Structure 1
Amino acid sequence: MQPSSAVRRSSLRQQLADAIRDEILAGRLPAGGRFTVKEIAEHYGVSATPVREALVDLSAQGLLDVEHHRGFQVRTITWGEYRGMVEARSLVTEGVFRNIVARGMQGMPDDTALASVRRRGAAASAAARGGELDVLIGCDLRFWRELTVLIRNRPICDFLDRLRTQIWMYSVPHLRRRPDLGEVCWQDHTALADAVCGRDLETIQRLVGDYNDHAITVMARITGNSGRPGPAPGDGPEAGDGDGCETGDGDGDGDGAGTGD
């Protein structure tokens, strides 16, 4: 491989982690793929130390598995794991918005900050309608990250961001095989952003619930897996052939762009 110019020399550790994560989400580093620190360092034309640090960070985020004396492997996420991630995301986000309801939206930022969330939502909705998967992934992750930042709780923001990224990891290979992305992907980012800007708590809760329900319902329908709680029969890489689209057709969830909250 020729050295890549995509990574600048400043903040190499974080830039490398971001670049490798993007490769995983784009499917260019597929689940089960193996590589070494040396291979990544040569690809980006950098030294081994920041690469090793970046890969350790991605392992801590649940994106890579460390193989003793063999390097790193892109994590393979099963259907059961995917479903558990979506359910965890649902529980946390519902709790977040219940707290906002209890506070009566006190402490929410001003209209300028909320307008930025709405712009992110409009971009994600447009990418979903157009079936532009690569654009959608980035827009969805940024939208939910910016929306979640509004609660001003960094540990929750980081936890949900990791879940969204892992959900997208699982979804992308299945979504790339579909010709109808504009129909199966959740598209209500703009509606949710409008509800947040309008302090419409009832609509916020309904749309967030729809978003999370959609991830399970659509993926189960596409893959033939059970969407019900409990262990998934035959759980394994082949059983989790779902499509956790982060955008939706109205039944409420898809992670992604967003995996991504």
Structure 2
Amino acid sequence: MPDGGGSLPVRRSSLRQQIADALRDEVLTGRLEAGRHFTVKEIAETYGVSATPVREALVDLTAQGLLEVEQHRGFQVRQLTADDFQSIVEARVFVVEAAFRMMDEQGMGDVPADALASVRRRAEAAARAAHAGVLDVLIGCDLRFWRELTAIGGNPHICEFLDRLRVQTWIYTVPHLRAVPDLAGVCWAGHVDLVDAVAARDTGAARQLTLDYHAHTRALVEKLDPAHP
């Protein structure tokens, strides 16, 4: 359960999203572990808010595949299996491949310089965190990097779907990564190279780097999880 310590310092109109973001971070970092049961009342009391925005936030997180509804019991953090992980990565590969194929057919177009500059900053931060093995920082930077990168393609539905898949991938891998004494250089760190490929309108290189990322993720999980098929 998230640490207590008073109510959330947020406007009422933003409570739903603030609570959803806070709980999402707890799940992503593993502080709210898979299989954990809780009720709307528990979360409301923890954050010092009313039940309505909490319930709405939990419904949002359930729709994103992070939580599951338990009949008459409340909610549970979703427990992803090795098969779930394989399916998620396969879906991620399929959608990203389709996105880059569309770019090949339609052309990359003119990518705004400010958008590329922002993505590059995210890429550099993610790469630094990966090289240093700072997991909590890496998770946040990596997710923001991929959100901004896919947003360049101009399709918000693809961007949102891939973000959900990446979140679920992190949820599965984080517990295994936590068991590694030194994570320096363990996680994928090709973010800057991928930005360079996009900036150069080289969709072939961008697709290959993305495939390398997926392959690295699979290989890492297979190494860390003895039960992985």
TM-score normalised by the chain length of structure 2: 0.94
Tell me the secondary structure at the aligned position of residue 11 of structure 1. Answer: helix
Tell me the secondary structure at the aligned position of residue 73 of structure 1. Answer: strand
Deviation per residue, 1:126-158 (Å, 9 max, x gap):
000000000000000000000011111111111
1:9 to 12, 27, 32: 12
2:47 to 38, 44, 48: 44
- Tell me which residue corresponds to 2:97: 94
- Tell me which residue corresponds to 1:178: 180
Distance of 2:82 and 2:117 partners within structure 1: 36
- Tell me which residue corresponds to 2:170: 168
Computed over aligned residues only, the root mean square deviation of the Cα atoms, in angstroms, reads: 1.4
Q: Quote how far apart the aligned CAs of 1:104 are.
A: 2.1
- Tell me which residue corresponds to 2:62: 59
Q: Which range is displaced more, 110-119 or 50-59?
A: 110-119
Q: Quote how far apart the aligned CAs of 1:221 are.
A: 2.2
Distance of 1:63 and 1:82 partners within structure 2: 13
Is 1:222 the counterpart of 2:224? The answer is yes
- The structure whose RCO (Cα within 8 Å, separation 6+) is larger is 1
What is the aligned residue count? 226
Q: Quote how far apart the aligned CAs of 1:68 are.
A: 1.0
Deviation per residue, 1:49-102 (Å, 9 max, x gap):
000000011011110010111110000000010011011100110110111111
Distance of 2:162 and 2:173 partners within structure 1: 16
Q: Quote how far apart the aligned CAs of 1:23 are.
A: 0.8
List aligned pairs for 1:201-220, cutoff 5 A: 201-220=203-222
TM-score normalised by the chain length of structure 1: 0.83
Distance of 1:202 and 1:21 partners within structure 2: 34
What runs of 5+ residues in structure 1 fail to find an aligned partner? 227-231, 233-261
Match for 1:131: what amino acid? G
- Tell me which residue corresponds to 2:135: 133
- Tell me which residue corresponds to 1:188: 190
Match for 2:115: what amino acid? A
CA contact (8 A) 1:111 1:197 kept: no
CA contact (8 A) 1:31 1:76 kept: yes
Identity of aligned residues (%): 59
Distance of 1:7 and 1:177 partners within structure 2: 35
Is 1:28 the counterpart of 2:31? The answer is yes
Runs of 4+ residues over 3 Å off in structure 1: 4-10
Tell me the secondary structure at the aligned position of residue 151 of structure 1. Answer: coil
- Tell me which residue corresponds to 1:152: 154
Q: Quote how far apart the aligned CAs of 1:201 are.
A: 2.1
- Tell me which residue corresponds to 1:120: 122
Distance of 2:225 and 2:40 partners within structure 1: 35
